Structure 1
Amino acid sequence: MFVRNESFGSFIRSYQIVSGLVAIHLILFLWMSIFRPLGGDLIFLLGVGHNLSIAQGEVWRLVTPIFMHVSAGHFLFNSFSLVLFGPALERQLGKVRFITVYLLAGIAANIATYYIGGLGYPPHLGASGAIFGLFGIYAYMVLYRKDLIDQDNSQVVMTILVIGLIMTFVNPRINIYAHIFGLIAGAALAPIFLYKLKRFVPKYRHVFDQDEVTFNPNRWKKRRLSPAMKQKLLWAAFILFVIIGVIYR
Structure 2
Amino acid sequence: MFLVESLLGGSQNLNTLILLGAKTNSLIQEGQWWRLITPMFLHIGIFHIFMNGFTLLYVGQVLEPMIGHWRFLILYVLSGITGNLASFAFGANNALSAGASTSLFGMFGAFLALALIYRENRFLTELGKSFLGLIVVNLLMDLTMSGIDIWGHIGGAIGGLLLGYALGIPRINRPKMILRILAIVIVVVISYFMYVKGMIVYG
* Equivalent residues of 2:11, 2:45 under 8 A apart: no
CA contact 1:168–1:179 (8 Å) conserved in 2: no
Given candidates 54, 58, 72, the residue that maps to 1:98 is 72
TM-score (structure 2 length as normaliser): 0.74
- The amino acid of 2:150's aligned partner reads I
Shift of 1:133: 0.3
Partner of 2:165: 191
Residue type of the partner of 1:115? A
Gaps of 5+ in 1: 1-27, 200-249
Q: Output the amino acid matched with 2:3.
A: L
Matching residue within 9, 14, 22 for 1:48: 22
Match of 1:164 among 133, 138, 141: 138
Question: How many Å apart are 1:126 and its aligned residue?
Answer: 0.7
Q: 1:127 aligns with which of 94, 97, 100?
A: 100
* Identity score, percent: 30
User: Who is 1:137 aligned against?
Assistant: 110
Query: Offset of 1:43 from its aligned partner?
Result: 5.0
How far is the alpha carbon of 1:195 from its aligned partner? 6.0
2:47 counterpart letter in structure 1: G
Alignment partners' CA distance in 1, 2:10 and 2:95: 25
Q: How does 1:1-249 map to 2 (within 5 A)?
A: 28-33=1-6, 35-37=7-9, 43-46=16-19, 47-117=21-91, 120-147=93-120, 150=123, 152-194=126-168, 197-198=171-172
Distance 1:43 1:161, change over 3 A: same
Deviation at 1:101, TM superposition (A): 1.2
Larger displacement relative to structure 2 (149-158 or 138-147): 149-158
How many angstroms does 1:121 deviate by?
Answer: 3.3
Q: Name the larger-Rg structure.
A: 1
Kindly indicate whether the alpha-carbon contact (under 8 Å) linking 2:76 and 2:107 is maintained by their aligned counterparts in 1: yes
The answer on whether the counterparts of 1:105 and 1:130 sit within 8 Å (CA) in structure 2 is yes
In 2, Cα distance between the equivalents of 1:127 and 1:39?
A: 14
1:171–1:39 CA distance, 2 compared to 1 (3 A): closer
Unaligned runs of 5+ in 2: 174-203
Per-residue Cα deviation, 1:48-74 (whole angstroms, up to 9, x for no partner): 101111111111111010011011111
Distance verdict in 2 for CA 1:195–1:75, change over 3 Å: closer
Cα shift readout 1:196-239 (whole Å, capped 9, x = no counterpart): 6549xxxxxxxxxxxxxxxxxxxxxxxxxxxxxxxxxxxxxxxx
Mean alpha-carbon deviation: is it higher for 54-63 or for 188-197? 188-197
Shift of 1:163: 2.2
RMSD between aligned residues: 2.6
Q: Give the total of aligned pairs.
A: 170
